Amino acid sequence: MNSKHQYVELSDGHFIPPLGLGTYKLQQVPNSNVTEATKIAIEAGFRHIDCAYVYQVEEEVGLAIRSKIADGTVKREDIFYTSKDWPSPLGCPTLTAASWR
């Protein structure tokens, strides 16, 4: 366990930070705000980023993550990105998780 960040072990042996940044925004909020908020969150120590296709900000979140990797703030393997596929055949979201480890 990293002394700076705490993690929860998943059933497959991977670890995920228990607290994540949610990236949902209201329609009237510019998408660029999500990019900046995500960068600030990563700088503050967030390593779990939660998004969804229906939020329509996946590109902005990706730009922020790539920017923080490029400037050395975080390593790719430190980010745990979760998303949701909507709708599922049951009419409810399906959680998908992608760790860049």
What is the pLDDT, as a whole number, of residue 5?
59
End-to-end CA distance of the chain: 15
The DSSP secondary-structure symbol of 82 reads E
Per-residue pLDDT of the chain (101 residues; tens, 9 = 90+): 344 558 888 899 888 898 999 999 999 999 999 999 999 999 999 999 999 888 999 999 999 999 999 999 999 999 999 888 766 555 665 555 554 44
User: What one-character-per-residue DSSP string does 43-55 give?
Assistant: HHT--EEE--GGG
Q: Which residues are catalytic?
A: 55
**Bridge partners, 96 (sequence order):** 83
The pTM score is 0.79
Supply 34's token pair: 């999500």
